[in-house]
Structure 1
Amino acid sequence: MRVLVVTAVAAESESVAAGLTARFPAGRSARPGPTVMAGGVGPAAAAAATAAALALASAGGTPYDLVVSAGIGGGFPPHAPIGSLVVADAIVAADLGAETAEGFLSVDELGFGRTAHLPPAALAARAAGLTGARCAPVLTVSTVTGTAARAAELSGRHPRAAAEAMEGFGVAEAAAAHGVAVLEIRAISNAVGPRDRAAWRIGAALAALRTGFEQLSPLFEESS
């Protein structure tokens, strides 16, 4: 299986690559490991970078079989505590739609498109099993949640959601356009809710991301 891992920023890519290197050491592996790249922050940047990478690979005759959106994110208490991992069983664009007097309407409710991608169930379950992650919806937002009211509103609309981040849906849209399977994996750095930088544990989340990708490496080998 040829795998592309897309993160938002370099620190996330470095953690992912460090975890993969433990399983795919340079010059010693029978096959190359996944490609890891930082595609930028937010769904638009992630979609553009992922689409470009997929198109380039296809044009070169070596298309990808799987795209993984990965990085750190916020966790919805009590589903995903700080330092834990979440594997998405649904990748949901949580703020793509319209505000109305009766509440939020998603673009699929408006009849304009879709707001969710479903990763292959068996693949997501296998990834969660290898890493000890929670398998649950991950929300993609363009603005990170910073208030209790916003957290409650999102939880009310998506009661099973375990995490929020900013890139998953963009990566999934690009993957779908190229007919490639997608996964999303998030390491939790903070609780979704009132913005409190002092409570963030980015180092712990990056360490969990590294460990998670070391544990995930057999999945990429099994399906090669």
Structure 2
Amino acid sequence: MTAAELLIAVAVPAEAEAVRAGLAPGAPVRVEPVGVGPAAAAAGTARLLVLAEAAGRAYRGVISAGIGGGFPDRAAIGTLVLASRSVAADLGAESPDGFRTLDELGFGQVARPADPELLRRLRTALPGATVGTVLTLSTVTGSAATLGALTTRYPDAAAEGMEGYGVAVAAHQAGLPFAELRAISNPVGPRDRDAWRIADALAALTAAATALS
């Protein structure tokens, strides 16, 4: 009997190519780009999960993987971050008393924890990875002010990306284990494209892919 596949959802084809390059031949893994941002990621992942289930080949779990920004002193460029939880950091409302999350407004949850067993296996396979909160943002952080606000609100934040929470919601609604992996391409904070090392992050993603099967 063929083993159920693990779905690895990435944002763009370059990330998919990086992950595929590191997978062992014949690994029961499917890697698919689902789009940039939480909405595209949620919709794209949900569609893949529904199609697989309808075809009688439901996935055994879902990993959101890709490059991302690392919070200073938590995750350096070229390193890996595993999410203990994926948080929709800008989902909420502004108020005279400051930002209020969706939870505080009573409309839902902004945090989705990683599946404990899937996270445990990834930590064992990737012992050098930092484990912490990974923030999902629709707008990449580009200023010291935003960095300060995020670190105040989420002092355990290790990385930021644009898709994790969306993928997590799709996996949760399908009843599947979820985890998130980020390879760090740049520091979170004032936007400086000269400091970005996308090739290094993609190489780290390829090296980590051996643990994703």
> Is this a same-fold pair by TM over 0.5?
yes
Indicate the residue corresponding to 1:124 in structure 2: 119
Residue 121 of structure 1: how far off its partner (Å): 2.1
Residue 65 of structure 1: how far off its partner (Å): 1.2
Helix, strand or coil at the partner of 1:87: strand
Q: Kindly indicate whether residue 198 of structure 2 is the aligned counterpart of residue 195 of structure 1.
A: no
CA distance in 1, matches of 2:74, 2:135: 13
Deviation track 1:105-160 (CA, whole Å, cap 9, x = no partner) reads 00011000110111122321331231221111100000000001100100110001
Task: Summarize the alignment of residues 130-209 of structure 1 with structure 2, pairs less than 5 Å apart.
Answer: 130-131=125-126, 132-209=128-205
Q: Which amino acid aligns with 2:123?
A: A
Deviation track 1:158-192 (CA, whole Å, cap 9, x = no partner) reads 00110000000000011111111111000000000
CA distance in 1, matches of 2:61, 2:118: 10
Indicate the residue corresponding to 1:79 in structure 2: 74
From 12, 15, 39, the equivalent of 1:12 is 15
Tell me, yes or no, if the aligned pair for 1:46 and 1:171 is still in contact at 8 Å.
Answer: yes
Q: Which amino acid aligns with 1:85?
A: L
CA distance in 1, matches of 2:159, 2:118: 19
Q: Which amino acid aligns with 2:45?
A: T
Instruction: Give structure 1 stretches of 5+ with no counterpart.
Output: none
Q: Which amino acid aligns with 2:5?
A: R
Indicate the residue corresponding to 2:35 in structure 1: 40
CA distance in 2, matches of 1:185, 1:208: 11
Tell me, yes or no, if the aligned pair for 1:86 and 1:128 is still in contact at 8 Å.
Answer: no
CA distance in 2, matches of 1:79, 1:38: 27
Q: Which amino acid aligns with 2:70?
A: G
Tell me, yes or no, if the aligned pair for 2:118 and 2:178 is still in contact at 8 Å.
Answer: no
Q: Kindly indicate whether residue 94 of structure 2 is the aligned counterpart of residue 91 of structure 1.
A: no
Tell me, yes or no, if the aligned pair for 1:74 and 1:188 is still in contact at 8 Å.
Answer: yes
Aligned length: 209
Helix, strand or coil at the partner of 1:193: coil
Helix, strand or coil at the partner of 1:102: coil
> TM-score scaled by structure 1?
0.91
Tell me, yes or no, if the aligned pair for 1:70 and 1:186 is still in contact at 8 Å.
Answer: yes
Tell me, yes or no, if the aligned pair for 1:125 and 1:135 is still in contact at 8 Å.
Answer: no
CA distance in 2, matches of 1:81, 1:91: 19
Helix, strand or coil at the partner of 2:152: helix
Moved >3 Å (runs of 4+) = none
